Amino acid sequence: METILSISSALCLLIGSFLCLSGGVGILRFPDFYTRMHAVGVTDTLAAAMILIGLMLQGPEWIAILKLIMILLMTLFISPTASHALAQAAIRNSLWPLIDTQQETAEEKSHRTPS
Amino acid sequence: MRHTISLSIGLLLFWLLNSGHYTLMILSLCVVSIVIVLTIVHKMDVVDHEAQPVHLSRKFPAYSLWLSKEIVLSNVTVVKHIWLGNESLSPTLTTLKASQITDMGKVIYASSITLTPGTIALDLVGDRIMVHSLLRDNITALESGEMDRRVSRLEAQC
């Protein structure tokens, strides 16, 4: 039991770290502000969740586990609000996103907002 | 009244979880601070169905399970495209229609869009949500309206 727990905990932590790293690479690699925000989304959601779950599996006592669950819930509630505030600040200051126009059809164009 | 009770239970659990000390002195401090918070909150007049959405609690677990599944799937897609490089991206900006009636439902829908990596809700005016997405496929998935329907069903509990 002990071994299974520590192995699965290590696995979760490893996946979480890989996702954090990917998020970081995405921030450096992606072309503009909005696409970079999508990369941050990875670090915000699944990476944080995996690391917290990994820590929960190592949990020495129930109160630590409950606190970790609380941190996870808080992160999941706060991060969309923060991202939305950031994105809206950018759009209000008329920073227009890069749009992929290559394969865009006429039908999709009509869906787009007038910018 | 229902909202006040749910707020006090929430605050009580929050205190008990964070403190971890269950002596009489600490517990009485807990009760005193909860009473103070409740008084302030009542004077501010913010205890209502928006601050304490108790009416959603019955259906919320099922929705959050579905949302977690979506978050995992879209994370995998975004990570794949991070490593594939910029050529594989097709950033798109669209306006979607939110079919929810209440503000609460619209906010849940917009937050769910933002929470799944690959799509961000930029602006919410009336029932139109402006969405930026990393890939055109994300928009197609949103336009198929499964998330919209699920949020509407969640909201229908009111």
Identify any residues that bridge with B132 across adjacent strands, giving them in sequence order. Answer: B93, B120
Q: What is the pLDDT of residue A111?
A: 54
Say if residue B158's pLDDT is above 70.
no
Q: Quote the CA–CA distance of A72 and B41 in Å, as a whole number.
A: 25
Residues B132, A87: C-beta atoms closer than 8 Å: yes
Q: What is the pLDDT of residue A17?
A: 94
Residues A42, B91: C-beta atoms closer than 8 Å: no
Residues A87, B75: C-beta atoms closer than 8 Å: no
Q: What is the pLDDT of residue B27?
A: 92
Identify any residues that bridge with B123 across adjacent strands, giving them in sequence order. Answer: B130
Q: What is the pLDDT of residue B146?
A: 84
Q: What is the pLDDT of residue A9?
A: 92
Weakest mean pLDDT among B45-54, B59-68, B105-114? B45-54
Q: Quote the CA–CA distance of B82 and A72 in Å, as a whole number.
A: 24
Residues B93, A112: C-beta atoms closer than 8 Å: yes
The residue extents of the domains of chain A are 2-95
- DSSP-assigned letter for residue B129: E
Q: What is the pLDDT of residue A13?
A: 94
A63-71 contacts, C-beta under 8 A, 24 or more apart: A63/B17, A63/B20, A66/B17, A67/B17, A67/B18, A70/B14, A70/B17
Q: How many CB atoms lie within 10 A of CB A107?
A: 7
Cα atoms in the 13 Å half-sphere on the side-chain side of A96? 7
Distance of CA A71 to the CA centre of its chain: 15
Look-up of token digits 């959050």? B64
User: What residues in A contact B79, CB-CB < 8 Å?
Assistant: 19, 22, 26, 42
Look-up of token digits 């496929």? B137
Q: What is the pLDDT of residues B119-131, one digit of tens each?
A: 888 888 888 888 8
- Arithmetic mean of pLDDT over chain B: 86
Residue numbers in chain A where pLDDT is lower than 70: 101-115
Closest by Cβ to A41, choosing from B72, B86, B117: B117
A9-15 contacts, C-beta under 8 A, 24 or more apart: A9/A54, A9/A55, A9/A57, A9/A58, A10/A54, A11/A54, A12/A50, A12/A51, A12/A53, A12/A54, A12/A57, A13/A50, A13/A51, A13/A54, A13/A55, A15/A50
**Kind of pairing between the strands at B119-125 and B128-133:** antiparallel
Q: What is the pLDDT of residue A115?
A: 44
> Please, which pLDDT band fits residue B18 given cuts at 50, 70 and 90?
confident
User: What residues in B contact A22, CB-CB < 8 Å?
Assistant: 79, 82-83
**Stretch 17-36 of chain B: residues touching chain A, C-beta under 8 Å:** 17-18, 20
- DSSP-assigned letter for residue A73: H
Q: Quote the CA–CA distance of A39 and A45 in Å, as a whole number.
A: 10
